Structure 1
Amino acid sequence: MSTDHELDDAQLAAEMAARAGDLLLELRARELGPNPLPSGAARELSRRGDKEANALLLRMLDQHRPADAVLSEESSDEGSRRGADRVWIIDPLDGSREYGLPGRTDWAVHVALWERGAGITAAAVAQPALGRVYRSDTATAAIGERERPRILVSDSRPPEFVAPLAERIGGDADPMGSAGAKAMAVLRGDADAYVHAGGQWEWDSAAPVGVALAAGLHCSRIDGSPLVYNEAHPYLPDLLICRPDLAPPLLAGIAELTGTLRDTPRVAMVREYLASLLSHDASKVRLAADCFRVENGTRTGDSGPEIVRELETGAQYLPLTGIRNLTFAEFGTDVVARFLLDMAVGEHTHTVALTEHFAVPGAEITAITAIIEPVVRPA
């Protein structure tokens, strides 16, 4: 129930998303010209937008819903939200890469309210560059009538199975940025389905799912199980949003192509960290502020922000070319990853064996300890 006589929860979600969207548009107009920024400058613009929009959303929640808890991409997760009856799940800037590119409209602001026993009860997704705000209390789905169903996937990490999946239903797969942008494209009837399996957090999908469900679309994990929010580990790596009539063939196709095994939340968080070693994109890596890293007994990282900076810009990561033979073992709140790491050394490839221990007591990685050993090749 709303605690503010001026705005009910859905109205507040929409107002928050719209205000944050206006802020992001103004910042983007000042900083982003017609030509692409250097990658470092574009990333910094996105981080500034994330931070400023997050601060605005938190101020609005403090004003209108001071008793409610918050789970935000840009704020530390203290864990107290787990005992709260009302939790706002927000993503101040979804599609940060696209936000830093001239001419891209596929970025969004997500605001959702989770309530105990009811799930997502109010939600709004703003697409500022389109001048649109979609809200759960007014959303309606326009069902497309195209001959070949259009499946939207991540612009940067499309599922490996999407090509054969599209072929099975006689459709086509197209990339697009921002989970919110893809979900709202399905809502508008510009696409028929959105499939993701490359890793996400709760704030990536909570608001889009809240709006899409209210509009009558199908929303689930890719194995058909429900999307559950305000979990201890807010990692929710996959989802399917689609026209209701497409859900059975899509779910059946995904099951046939992938099987039913999937990562636990802790393993999925570690997998994101390992992926950043090669991609140099740590935007999905969740590290505690006081996270540290130790390699062969030497401390090589003293804070989460420092480790993230090194993952994205550190010269020591540039030669890395591949991860092979990756296995995981989970012991309580700890994850151990074992793998071979390839790196370019001149014209040759050098390989080392790594055993990395990750402490994951909650929603963030708090410590990384690595043992690095040379791989001895047979004479």
Structure 2
Amino acid sequence: MDDAHFAADVAHAAGLLLLEVRARAHETGRELGRLGDAAANTLILDRLASERPEDAVLSEESADDLTRLDAQRVWIIDPLDGSREYGLAGREDWAVHVGLWEAGVGMTASAVAQPAIDVVYSTADVKGPAPQSGRPRLVVSDSRPPYYMDALAADVEGDVVTMGSAGAKAMAVVRGDVDAYVHSGGQWEWDSAAPVGVALAAGLHCSRIDGSPLLYNRTHPYLPDLLICRPELAEPLLRGIATHATREADTGRVAMAREYIKSLVSHDATKLRLSDRCTRIENGKATGDSGAFLRREIEEGQQYKSIVGVHELVFNEWDTNVVARFVLEFDGGARVNITEHFEIPAGEITAITAIIEPSP
């Protein structure tokens, strides 16, 4: 089986499994999303190990093995894109991403499955959308829409619509349901790799929002923004984004540190990239020796339950280090000053060192 049909077959199989998990599970919401992620990831990794054993893998749900940087072929996968939507009854806007990156070429054989609507889009046979009619429709994240979208839509006399899952939004452009997908504010390579592979095969424009190429299999797999659109819309959209997108985006390492700090308040560690052996030291005392332990503590530990706010947050980054300084607020109004150092060599936080001081 060639790579494109293989990608489609694997994505389809993972999608069927996700439907089964969703149908029989008693869990809902976040826990259902985690069940689906784990099950689909295992299926995809097993297929790759069996049928493409020489290839490297970058998966959202697995530790980042940096030997991929020297590989000629890397499968970039998101076993369940849109885990939030998957955990909500009746939502169809979630997907499975299976894409192949090849050295010197970029994204090649790719597939995106949307199991809830029983369709798989693949570079093996994807077709471009029908000609545009009416006002351009610009799709954005329903949870993190770009701050400049109203101004951008006015520039092109278009309408903004929302949807979950990066793959679902990208495939809506491929189908012609919408005319462009615009994203700012943080994504990872697995969020866009396979959708971009399919969209390029369909003849669509794909780039960063500054017009630069979308590059994959990088040391730090953070890709904060993208534009997927009909080719004729690329120039006016890029021109409008250049005018209205004025905020500086986080680097990948700062984004990872910010996600950790957000989780202290949300008590949701779903999106944290912590290595299996991630350590945490607090005022000289070891308070964690694994990523799994730290995630569990953030979500269930009593010492985190009363955290209600983060204030005056600033970051400093150099080499593989990020330092965050902020004020942590607790239920009842108590506050402490935090200086938190993160060691982030690549796609995961490997060590956290915190200094906690009373707030004046």
Same fold, TM-score > 0.5, yes or no: yes
Matched, 1:8 2:21: no
Q: What are structure 1's unaligned runs of at least 5 residues? A: 1-6
Matched, 1:358 2:342: yes
Query: What is the rounded CA distance, in whole Å, between the counterparts of 2:168 and 2:336 in structure 1?
Result: 40
Match of 2:19?
25
Displacement of 1:336: 0.8
SS in 1 for 2:31: helix
Residues 295, 369 of structure 1: 8 Å contact kept? yes
Query: What is the rounded CA distance, in whole Å, between the counterparts of 2:307 and 2:359 in structure 1?
Result: 15
Equivalent AA in structure 2 for residue 14 of structure 1 = A
Matched, 1:224 2:230: no
CA separation of 1:183 and 1:59: change in aligned 2, threshold 3 A:
same
Displacement of 1:319: 4.0
Match of 1:291?
278
Q: 2:79 aligns with which of 68, 71, 92?
A: 92
Displacement of 1:246: 1.8
Query: What is the rounded CA distance, in whole Å, between the counterparts of 1:44 and 1:53 in structure 2?
Result: 14
Displacement of 1:144: 5.9
Matches within 5 A, 1:108-187: 108-143=95-130, 145-187=132-174
Residues 185, 249 of structure 2: 8 Å contact kept? no
Query: What is the rounded CA distance, in whole Å, between the counterparts of 1:144 and 1:130 in structure 2?
Result: 23
Equivalent AA in structure 2 for residue 164 of structure 1 = A
Query: What is the rounded CA distance, in whole Å, between the counterparts of 2:149 and 2:261 in structure 1?
Result: 23
Query: What is the rounded CA distance, in whole Å, between the counterparts of 2:205 and 2:303 in structure 1?
Result: 44
Q: 1:280 aligns with which of 267, 274, 279?
A: 267
Q: 2:182 aligns with which of 190, 195, 216?
A: 195
Displacement of 1:107: 0.7
Query: What is the rounded CA distance, in whole Å, between the counterparts of 1:277 and 1:161 in structure 2?
Result: 28
Query: What is the rounded CA distance, in whole Å, between the counterparts of 2:154 and 2:263 in structure 1?
Result: 31
Query: What is the rounded CA distance, in whole Å, between the counterparts of 1:189 and 1:144 in structure 2?
Result: 8
Q: 1:82 aligns with which of 69, 72, 91?
A: 69
Displacement of 1:100: 1.2
The alignment yields a C-alpha RMSD, in angstroms, of 1.9
Match of 2:220?
233
Displacement of 1:361: 1.5
Match of 1:372?
356
Query: What is the rounded CA distance, in whole Å, between the counterparts of 1:254 and 1:331 in structure 2?
Result: 29
Equivalent AA in structure 2 for residue 135 of structure 1 = S
Query: What is the rounded CA distance, in whole Å, between the counterparts of 1:375 and 1:257 in structure 2?
Result: 38
Q: Between Structure 1 and Structure 2, how many residues are aligned? A: 360
SS in 2 for 1:358: strand
Displacement of 1:238: 1.4
- Of 124-133 and 143-152, deviating more is 143-152
Residues 144, 192 of structure 1: 8 Å contact kept? no
Query: What is the rounded CA distance, in whole Å, between the counterparts of 1:81 and 1:150 in structure 2?
Result: 38
Identity percentage of aligned residues? 62
Write the deviation string for residues 286-318 of structure 1: whole angstroms up to 9, x where unpaired: 100111222222333221112222333444444
Query: What is the rounded CA distance, in whole Å, between the counterparts of 1:343 and 1:259 in structure 2?
Result: 33
Equivalent AA in structure 2 for residue 11 of structure 1 = H
SS in 2 for 1:284: coil
Displacement of 1:262: 2.9
Equivalent AA in structure 2 for residue 166 of structure 1 = A
Residues 94, 204 of structure 1: 8 Å contact kept? yes
Displacement of 1:130: 0.5
CA separation of 1:324 and 1:91: change in aligned 2, threshold 3 A:
same
- Of 223-232 and 304-313, deviating more is 304-313
Displacement of 1:99: 0.9
Write the deviation string for residues 197-231 of structure 1: whole angstroms up to 9, x where unpaired: 22211111100010001111111112211111001
CA separation of 1:113 and 1:257: change in aligned 2, threshold 3 A:
same
Matched, 1:268 2:248: no
CA separation of 1:354 and 1:123: change in aligned 2, threshold 3 A:
same
CA separation of 1:161 and 1:343: change in aligned 2, threshold 3 A:
farther
Match of 1:3?
none
Residues 144, 191 of structure 1: 8 Å contact kept? no
- Please, what TM-score do these two structures have when normalized by structure 1? 0.89
Q: What are structure 2's unaligned runs of at least 5 residues? A: none
CA separation of 1:332 and 1:56: change in aligned 2, threshold 3 A:
same
- Of 56-65 and 87-96, deviating more is 56-65
